A and B are shown apart, each in its own frame.
Chain A
């Protein structure tokens, strides 16, 4: 299999900027929304019954979707994006199971996908060539979001927390 192209940037943000974003998304004022069906989880009866995750749209459909989007400014500025497609916060609970999901793509056209990891945990992102990217806080993973990828739920932290940014 062809090697998947990707880049990893550790300590992507200044400590203070990182902590501000992490504190925001872990705070008791930040709204999360229940997603019953994890689209990239295999559609077996067992998976369909067992998994869910929580999301927060910062940006989608060519417009901001959250009053909190301005708090991502240090992160978004550093991406030097020409245009954003979607910016989404994800919180995946720890179900004490970390079997791999089914691979999925974010969009079917070539674009940049960034995953910004907000906490350390053992639920990796898995790229098309099966390279596993460890979830490490303040790490940014950059790859083509039209290429298949998947992830695992974590088992060693209360949840896996990240921001998924699709952009040009």
Chain B
């Protein structure tokens, strides 16, 4: 799997705005029944914005050179005493790009399968990981912060 990591992806002020919204008590999250306990918000899906937060991502999408969104989802994983691994599966059978944006710094990792073996990407705030979403990968929960929060983009 080819991948790219870019640190300090967004200008600091804009990043703080995004982070403050996602980690505020005004941002609605749905409990995910498919995992032990996590929360999510689908910001864009089914060919349309599903949250007003999509408007806040206009500059983000420009930085990402995003032409068209397929799905944008925020995820929040509560901390666990030990790392728990969650496998992510590509939902889409069309060729597209994936980007995982880290909202907070924590000790959870993202695991990619590459030709050279497994690679672990640390969760560092304002870091983006561009990855091939047609390949399987996994994430772990964190143990040193209250939550692990990310924004995941499927796009062309």
Task: Among A30, A34, A96, A159, point to the contact of B27 (Cβ < 8 A).
Answer: A34
Q: A50-B146, A51-B146, A95-B79 are in contact. Are A34 and B24 (CB under 8 A)?
A: yes
B127-156 interface (Cβ within 8 A of A): 145-147
A30 and B30 within 8 A (CB): yes
B146 and A36 within 8 A (CB): yes
Looking across the interface, which residue of chain A has its beta carbon closest to that of B24? A34
Task: Among A27, A31, A55, A159, point to the contact of B37 (Cβ < 8 A).
Answer: A159
B25 and A55 within 8 A (CB): yes
B47 within 8 A of A: no
A122 within 8 A of B: no
B81 and A95 within 8 A (CB): yes
Q: A34-B76, A36-B23, A158-B37 are in contact. Are A28 and B146 (CB under 8 A)?
A: no
Q: A50-B79, A50-B146, A96-B81 are in contact. Are A34 and B33 (CB under 8 A)?
A: no
B26 within 8 A of A: yes
B29 neighbours in A (Cβ, 8 Å) = 31-34, 54
CA A52 to CA B148, docked complex, whole Å? 12
Q: A50-B146, A51-B146, A94-B37 are in contact. Are A32 and B78 (CB under 8 A)?
A: no
Q: How far is the CB of A98 from chain B (nearest CB, A)?
A: 12
B15 within 8 A of A: no
A93 and B37 within 8 A (CB): yes
A60 within 8 A of B: no
B39 within 8 A of A: yes
A32 and B146 within 8 A (CB): no
Task: Among A35, A55, A91, A97, point to the contact of B31 (Cβ < 8 A).
Answer: A91
Residues 65-98 of chain B, each 1 if its beta carbon lies under 8 Å from chain A, else 0: 0000000000010111100000000000000000
A99 within 8 A of B: no
A49 within 8 A of B: yes
Q: How far is the CB of A139 from chain B (nearest CB, A)?
A: 22
B33 and A93 within 8 A (CB): no
B28 and A49 within 8 A (CB): no
B36 and A29 within 8 A (CB): no
A102 neighbours in B (Cβ, 8 Å) = none
Which among A34, A93, A158 has the highest number of chain B CB atoms within 10 Å?
A34
A5 within 8 A of B: no
B59 within 8 A of A: no
Q: Please give me the 5 A-B residue pairs with the lowest Cβ-Cβ distance, nearest first.
A: A31-B28, A93-B78, A96-B81, A52-B146, A158-B37
The interface of chain B, by Cβ under 8 A from chain A, is 23-33, 36-37, 39, 76, 78-81, 145-147
Q: A54-B29, A94-B37 are in contact. List 16 more A-B contacts (CB 8 A).
A: A26-B33, A28-B31, A31-B30, A33-B26, A33-B28, A34-B24, A34-B25, A34-B27, A34-B39, A34-B76, A35-B25, A36-B146, A50-B146, A91-B31, A95-B79, A159-B37
